């Protein structure tokens, strides 16, 4: 009988155990949302969202929230009356000036361009390592790590000193060009235009053809006037030996001892060929014979006594000059 009662007691306890566990678990679970609410006087009150702070907790279900101030942030729901300050970035330690207006998260200090953190704590920034000519950056430095350099090989080069310059490939000469000077680790290939043989031949032949054409044209022009030029040349050569420089000679005026009669006393026409007429006798010299030898430029007859030089009129003899 006793055993039967014990068995019934155990059965009741086993049936009551789940109920007791459920009640305990219900009592342990909070009634408010731990992310967006907080409990106050047994009531679930709302928190202020990220980027804001609580200026007053009343009323509980609709608190008054305001934005965080400059260089402040709040990255989660809060019931606090203040936001958290942003980290201070000292420009004298090569940090950049913070320009972000984000108030919902912390903004870490960033090193200036060309600098990196000196340690994991990033308390200060130091310049990147520079790569000398003939070397390029294998890893370009940034805020977190330094630049790593490597030697330029395999048809690459670098001709400057920098922390972000990489090794560049040599220039490949285009069609119609050839390498004048091969590149090195510090210099690029130098290309030049490939000389073309037919262009070189043309440049040499064309001047020769032009010269031959000029000579042929000159010869053709001279050929037609060759005889005339020979004649002029011969006459010029002969004249240099036969002719003497001309000089002006003035014939002195001859004063005859006898009076000269007027031009009308001389015969107006020359005697015909085959014989000469009897000369007229002069009153003073009746025995002197005269003969006509020609006319002057004025048309007067020039008379000449036999055995004497020609006599011209006094007027013409005074003005006329002769060249010998």
Inter-CA distances, 21 with 8, 26, 28, 29, 30, Å? 21, 9, 11, 13, 16
* Per-residue pLDDT, 204: 75
In terms of pLDDT, which residue wins out, 213 or 19? 213
Residue 324 has pLDDT above 80, yes or no: no
What pLDDT digit, counting tens, does each position of 259-283 carry? 544 444 444 444 444 444 444 444 4
What pLDDT digit, counting tens, does each position of 201-224 carry? 677 788 888 888 888 888 777 765
pTM of the model: 0.46
Question: Angle formed by the axes of helices 226-242 and 197-224, to 10°?
Answer: 60
Q: Residue 189 CB: number of other CB atoms within 10 A? A: 18
Residue 15 has pLDDT above 80, yes or no: no
Return the C-alpha torsion angle 285, 290, 294, 296, nearest 10.
10
Q: Which domains, and CATH codes, for the chain?
A: 27-85 (2.10.50.10), 135-193 (2.10.50.10), 249-268+285-324 (no CATH)
In terms of pLDDT, which residue wins out, 59 or 5? 59
Closest CA to 111 of 85, 93, 87, 86: 93
What's the rounded Cα separation, in Å, for the pair 220 and 212? 12
Task: Report CA 51 to chain centroid distance, whole Å.
Answer: 57
Residue 152 has pLDDT above 70, yes or no: yes
What pLDDT digit, counting tens, does each position of 185-196 carry? 999 999 999 876
What pLDDT digit, counting tens, does each position of 49-78 carry? 999 999 877 788 888 999 999 889 999 999
Interior CA angle at 58 toward 104 and 32, to 5°?
70
Read off the tokens for 89.
């970035």
Element (H, E) at 37: strand 37-40
Residue 128: partners with Cβ closer than 8 Å, 6 or more residues away: 114, 115, 116, 141, 146, 147, 163, 164
């Amino acid at each position: 009988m006793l055993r039967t009662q014990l068995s019934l007691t155990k059965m009741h306890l086993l049936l009551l155990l789940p109920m007791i566990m459920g009640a305990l678990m219900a009592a342990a679970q909070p009634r408010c949302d731990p992310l967006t609410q907080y409990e106050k006087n047994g009531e679930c009150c709302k928190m202020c969202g990220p980027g804001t702070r609580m200026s007053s907790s009343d009323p509980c279900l609709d608190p008054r929230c305001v934005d965080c101030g400059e260089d402040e942030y709040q990255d989660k729901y809060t019931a606090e009356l203040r936001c958290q300050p942003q980290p201070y970035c000292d420009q004298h330690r090569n940090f950049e000036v913070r320009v972000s207006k984000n108030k919902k998260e912390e903004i870490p200090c960033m090193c200036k361009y060309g600098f990196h953190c000196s340690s994991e704590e990033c308390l200060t920034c130091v310049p990147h390592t520079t790569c000398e000519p003939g070397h390029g950056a294998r890893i370009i430095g940034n805020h977190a790590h330094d630049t790593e350099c490597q030697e330029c090989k395999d048809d690459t080069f670098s001709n400057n000193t920098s922390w972000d310059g990489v090794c560049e490939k040599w220039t490949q000469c285009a069609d119609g060009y050839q390498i004048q000077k091969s590149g090195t680790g510090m210099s690029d290939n130098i290309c030049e235009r490939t000389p073309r043989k037919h262009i070189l031949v043309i440049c040499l032949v064309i001047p020769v053809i032009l010269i031959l054409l000029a000579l042929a044209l000159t010869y053709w022009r001279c050929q037609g006037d060759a005889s005339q030029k020979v004649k002029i040349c011969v006459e010029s050569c002969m004249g240099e030996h036969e002719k003497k420089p001309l000089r002006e000679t003035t014939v002195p005026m001859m004063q005859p001892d006898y009076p000269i009669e007027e031009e009308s006393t001389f015969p107006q026409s020359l005697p015909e060929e085959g014989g000469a007429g009897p000369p007229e006798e002069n009153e003073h010299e009746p025995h002197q014979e005269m003969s006509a030898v020609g006319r002057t430029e004025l048309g007067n007859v020039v008379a000449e006594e036999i055995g004497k030089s020609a006599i011209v009129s006094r007027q013409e003899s005074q003005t006329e000059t002769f060249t010998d």
